[in-house]
């Protein structure tokens, strides 16, 4: 592992988290005209498949296509992109970007709960307290005095938590079932290609196709930017893990959450009640406790 100097590591972490958080705003804009989730996911997978295949060819790196590999790509595509993004895109047109960002902050908490359930992590009271604080944050957002409940959006907030649940499943699956000699770049490339094969017929059968053969508006450009930045952020995150370790890189979750809230306010003109800000504080505190300690 080639270590980064602390200043550059922190700078890259802040940049990566900010870019990642901005995709929440782009996602909201992309669904603003009623485009169907599966149609948006199709183009995200298509762009990923084309770009990553071109990079793989340039690096002369073949894609493993044995049965074990294809099954792995399919599961990663389903639980890492198709299923969670379907829920995310569905609720994005109903919820503020700030609440979507707070909801995404539950990924490490779901990951830990699943890991405990399957025996992949040991029980630690500090981390369980973090999960509890995350639960308090969600309860504040869904409570009878909250804006979400008063506006009848409680169901959408609950549905927004389905995507983090799938990401938690994906993380545990990757840690346990990744085939030998499978690097993250190859995983994403294979998942994009196999995911595209899965998504295409479903998109056509459900009449969810998004036609881009017309004059582009800011919505279509937001779709392209969102798909491109997902590739950049995923690659950047894996690069950061390799240079700083998983514990430091995992702190990007704080920046994603905070930047998602701030971008929603700056770009979309969102405002939040005192309860939402209190919930954000509980969620950040929960993230601090859930993150693993640095190895001694």
User: 188 and 170 in contact (C-beta within 8 Å)?
Assistant: no
Mean of the per-residue pLDDT values for the chain?
Answer: 85
User: 166 and 174 in contact (C-beta within 8 Å)?
Assistant: no
User: 252 and 17 in contact (C-beta within 8 Å)?
Assistant: yes
pLDDT per residue over 68-110, tens digit each?
A: 999 999 999 999 899 999 999 999 888 888 889 888 888 888 8
Give the DSSP H/E element, type plus range, for residue 84: helix 83-92
Residue the block writes with tokens 């295949």? 53
CA distance 271 to 158: 20
180: left (phi over 0), alpha (psi -120 to 50) or beta: beta
**Residue 296 scores a pLDDT above 80:** no
**Residue 211 scores a pLDDT above 70:** yes
**Residue 226 scores a pLDDT above 90:** no
Percent of the chain with pLDDT over 90: 30
More confident residue, 56 or 240: 56
The Cβ-side half-sphere exposure at 280, using a 13 Å CA radius, reads: 21
CA distance 53 to 162: 30
User: 256 and 17 in contact (C-beta within 8 Å)?
Assistant: yes
The Cβ-side half-sphere exposure at 257, using a 13 Å CA radius, reads: 27
**Residue 150 scores a pLDDT above 60:** no
The Cβ-side half-sphere exposure at 129, using a 13 Å CA radius, reads: 7
pLDDT per residue over 252-276, tens digit each?
A: 878 888 899 999 999 988 888 888 8
**Confidence band of 218 (pLDDT split at 50, 70, 90):** confident
pTM for the model: 0.87
Alpha carbon 34 to its chain's center? 21
CA distance 46 to 270: 32
Both tokens of residue 222?
């937001």
So what's the pLDDT on residue 82? Answer: 95
**Confidence band of 294 (pLDDT split at 50, 70, 90):** low
User: 289 and 127 in contact (C-beta within 8 Å)?
Assistant: yes
């Amino acid at each position: 592992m080639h270590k980064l100097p602390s200043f550059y590591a922190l700078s890259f972490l802040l940049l990566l988290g900010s870019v990642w958080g901005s995709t929440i705003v782009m996602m909201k804009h992309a669904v603003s005209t009623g485009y169907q989730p599966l149609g948006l996911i199709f183009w995200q997978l298509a762009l990923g498949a084309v770009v990553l295949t071109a990079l793989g060819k340039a690096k002369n790196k073949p894609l493993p296509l044995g049965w074990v590999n294809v099954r792995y790509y399919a599961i990663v595509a389903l639980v890492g992109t198709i299923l969670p993004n379907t829920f995310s895109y569905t609720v994005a047109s109903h919820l503020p970007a700030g609440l979507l960002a707070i909801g995404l902050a539950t990924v490490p908490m779901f990951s830990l709960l699943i890991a405990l359930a399957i025996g992949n992590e040991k029980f630690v009271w500090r981390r369980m307290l973090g999960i509890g604080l995350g639960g308090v944050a969600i309860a504040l957002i869904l409570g009878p005095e909250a804006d979400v409940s008063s506006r009848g959006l409680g169901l959408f907030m609950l549905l927004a938590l389905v995507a983090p649940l799938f990401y938690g499943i994906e993380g545990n699956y990757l840690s346990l079932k990744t085939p030998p000699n499978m690097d993250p770049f190859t995983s994403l490339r294979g998942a994009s290609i196999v995911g595209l094969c899965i998504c295409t017929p479903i998109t056509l059968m459900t009449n969810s196709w998004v036609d881009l053969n017309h004059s582009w508006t800011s919505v279509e450009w937001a779709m392209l930017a969102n798909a491109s930045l997902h590739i950049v952020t995923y690659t950047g995150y894996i690069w950061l893990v390799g240079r700083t370790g998983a514990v430091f890189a995992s702190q990007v979750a704080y920046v994603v959450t905070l930047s998602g809230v701030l971008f929603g306010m700056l770009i979309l003109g969102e405002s939040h009640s005192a309860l939402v800000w209190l919930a954000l504080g509980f969620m950040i505190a929960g993230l601090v406790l859930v993150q693993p300690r640095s190895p001694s």
